[in-house]
Amino acid sequence: MSRQFAHQELAALMKKCAGLTVDPAALAGSPEMTFTEFGLDSLGLLAIVGELENHYGTPIEPGAESCKTPNDFIDVINASITAGA
Render pLDDT for 45-55 as a digit per residue (tens, 0 to 9).
Answer: 999 999 999 99
7-84 maps to CATH 1.10.1740.10 = no
Residue-range domain boundaries for the chain: 7-84
Q: Binning pLDDT at 50, 70 and 90, where does residue 2 land? A: low
The Cα 71–Cα 66 span in angstroms is 13
Q: What is the pLDDT of residues 43-81, one digit of tens each?
A: 999 999 999 999 999 999 998 999 999 999 999 999 999
DSSP 58: S
pLDDT value at residue 1: 40
Burial profile 32-64: b = 16 or more Cβ within 10 angstroms, e = fewer:
eeebeebebeeebbebbbebbeeebeeebbeeb
Q: What is the pTM of this model?
A: 0.91
